[in-house]
Amino acid sequence: MSVKIVGTGSALPENQVLNTDLEKMMDTSDEWIRERTGIVGRHISTGETVADLAVKACERALDNAGYAPEQIDLLLVATCTPERAVPSVACQVQSRVGADSAVAMDLNAACAGFLFALHTAFAYVEAGIYKNALIVGAEVLSKIVDWNDRGTCILFGDGAGAVVVEKTEKGGILGFVQHSDGKHGEVLRCDTRELKNPYVSVPMESPFVKMDGREVFAFAVRQVPAGIREVLEKTGKRIEEVDLFVLHQANKRIIEGIAKRLSVDIERFPVNLDKVGNMSSAAIPVLLDELNREGTLKRGMTLILSGFGAGLTWGACVLEW
- C-alpha R_g of the chain: 19
248 is catalytic: yes
* Alpha helices (H) in the chain, listed in sequence order: 19-23, 30-37, 50-65, 89-97, 113-126, 213-235, 252-262, 273-276, 283-293
153 is catalytic: no
Read off φ and ψ for residue 253, nearest 5 degrees: -65, -35
User: From the CB of residue 84, how many other CB atoms can be counted at a distance below 10 Å?
Assistant: 12
Of 162, 111, 107, 159, nearest to 136 (Cα)? 162
Instruction: Report the helix count and the strand count for the chain, using DSSP H and E.
Output: 9, 15
Beta-sheet strand order (sheet of 313-320):
172-180, 313-320, 302-309, 244-247
**Rounded to an integer, what distance in angstroms lies between the CA atom of residue 70 and that of residue 66?**
12
Q: How many CA atoms lie within 13 A of 252 on its CB side?
A: 16
Catalytic residue among 58, 80, 111, 153: 111
Catalytic residue among 19, 80, 119, 248: 248
Catalytic residue among 19, 108, 278, 292: 278
Q: To the nearest 5 percent, what fractions of the chain are helix, strand and coil?
A: 40, 25, 35
278 is catalytic: yes
| Residues assigned a catalytic role | 111, 248, 278
